[in-house]
Structure formats: C-alpha cells, structure tokens
Amino acid sequence: MKKLLIILFTICSTICTAQMDSLELYKKGYSIAKELNIEYKYKLEVSEGIVYEQELQIKDLQDVSKTHEYILYNDSLQLSIQSQQIKLLNENLNIYQKEFNRRDRFWNKPVFGAVLGMVGTVALIHVIGYTLPQ
C-alpha cells in the first residue's frame, strides 16, 4: 500500500508539475499572441491609412484625367472655331481683294479724273473756240 501511495503521489506531482508547465506555456503563448495581435492591429491601421491615401490619389488622378479630357475637348472646339474664323477671314479677304481690284483701275483714281478734266476742258475750249464765229 505504501508503494501504491508513493506511486499515486508521484503521479499527482507529475500531473501538477505538467499542469504548471502547460500553464506557463499557455501564459507565454497568450502574451506572444497578445503582442502579435497588437502588432497586427497596428499594421492593419497603417495599411488602412495607406489604402485610404491611395484611394484619394486615385480619385485625384481621375479628376485630373477628367480635367485633361475636358481641356482637350475645349481645345479641339477652340481650334475648330479658329479654323472656321480663318476660313471666313480668307473669304472676306478675297471679297475685299476683288472689290479693291475692281475699284483700283486707273480711271477710278482722282489724279486721272483731274488730268482728264483738264484735258477735257482744254479740248472743249479749243472745240468751242474753233466752232464759234469770229
């Protein structure tokens, strides 16, 4: 019986010691898990911040892209309007050039009119002077 008690006492002490060791291991694992959990939470917060910043950058880039497309559209409209203006100005220039060429004859100039008037007056005086009885 004594041997049985010694065996039982030995088994109980090893079980208690094993439980102490497993409790220590559990506490150590719990503290490591707690530290890792804190570290992962920090990394998640940092990652969420980075993701939020990237989403803002993507939104900014989309706004820049839309602005770029709008500017390109406006530029193309302005170029179209300017090409139409150039076409109309060339047509007006051609009209004015034709009118200038039509009016710019030597008989339409004031100097020619004055010379023609003097020559005509002298010729008329000579004709009248020769046709009048003396």
In the predicted structure, residue 57 carries a pLDDT above the cut 60: yes
How do residues 117-128 score in pLDDT, each as one tens digit? Answer: 899 999 988 888
- Tell me what the mean pLDDT of segment 32-58 comes to: 93
d(CA 84, CA 76): 12
What's this model's pTM, rounded to 2 decimal places?
A: 0.45
Over the stretch 67-100, which tens digit does the pLDDT of each residue have? 999 999 999 999 999 999 999 999 999 999 988 8
Nearest 10 degrees: Cα torsion 66, 72, 74, 80:
-160
Rounded Cα distance, 17 and 8, in Å: 14
Chain-centroid distance, C-alpha 82: 22
- What number of residues does the chain have? 134
Class of residue 127 by CB neighbours under 10 A (exposed 0-12, middle 13-18, buried 19+): exposed
Q: How far apart are CA 68 and CA 71, in angstroms?
A: 5
